[in-house]
Homo-oligomer: A and B are copies of this chain.
Amino acid sequence: MLQYDFRQAHLVAIDNVVFGYDQGQLKLLLFERNIEPSKGGWSLVGGWVKPDESVEDAAYRVLTNITGLSNLFMEQVEVFSKPDRDPGGRVISVVFYALIDIKAHDHQMVNQYGAKWWPVNKLPELIFDHGVMKDAALQRLRIKASRDLVGRDLLPAEFTLTQLRNLYNCIFMKEFDPGNFRKKIISLNALRRLDKKDLSESKKGAYYYKFKNKSADQFTERIINI
């Protein structure tokens, strides 16, 4: 166990880019930092990696502690390790992104930690390199969403194709053609249409859909061309 040289050890942290979707907007969960350096600035959802856990376990632990949610979708993004990236000291940070249903998580716990949901296109100034981390995570989310339907973790269980399209509009920051988007999504055969309509947005009403089953949102086929 001790044949390796432990003199050159590093502090390793994780930072989670937590995406949520609410009121037609893609949002990010941010913390108001209450310790120096950069006290008062806004940061991603971070924490230390413990000696006997993987970085994945650390990222998951930190996020479930705050949101009260389990079975979160999380994916590794990239390591940030410039020696001066954190003015408080040399910290290597592994970035993850997570997708969560804003309605489902424990708001009280989030509030108690001083966290707040911000629309991705109206973010406050982020500390350190967290802005770059967010950009990298969004790019990874786009790659994910270009191959798999990402609605399951962000939308309520029952949703309209218009809602799904709006989520994709937010993720890719462009307007998808309603007819073509509908055609493509239905061709994937991953959603089941319910005999129930949302009448709040139009006179005709839009059918509610739900995901068929757990594995049906994993495609090999491309949904969005990026």
Contacts and interface: CB of A to CB of B under 8 A. Distances in A.
Interface of A: 1-6, 8-12, 35-36, 48-56, 76, 78-79, 81-83, 88-92, 94, 222, 225
A49 B4 contact: no
A218 to B, nearest CB: 15
B48 A8 contact: yes
Contact of A53 (B5, B79, B83): B83
Stoichiometry, as copies per complex, reads 2
Given A53-B83, A54-B83, A225-B222, A92 B12 contact: yes
Nearest to A91: B4
B89 A8 contact: no
A1 B89 contact: yes
Nearest to A221: B225
A10 B9 contact: yes
B51 A10 contact: yes
Given A1-B89, A12-B92, A55 B81 contact: yes
A34 to B, nearest CB: 13
A10 B56 CA distance: 15
Contact of A81 (B8, B9, B35, B49): B49
B3 A89 contact: yes
Contacts of A88: 1, 3-4
B225 A3 contact: no
B81 A79 contact: no
A90 B53 CA distance: 10
Given A5-B11, A10-B10, 4 more contacts: A1-B88, A4-B88, A10-B12, A10-B51
Nearest to A3: B88
9 contacts: A1-B89, A3-B89, A6-B89, A8-B51, A10-B10, A10-B11, A12-B92, A49-B81, A222-B225
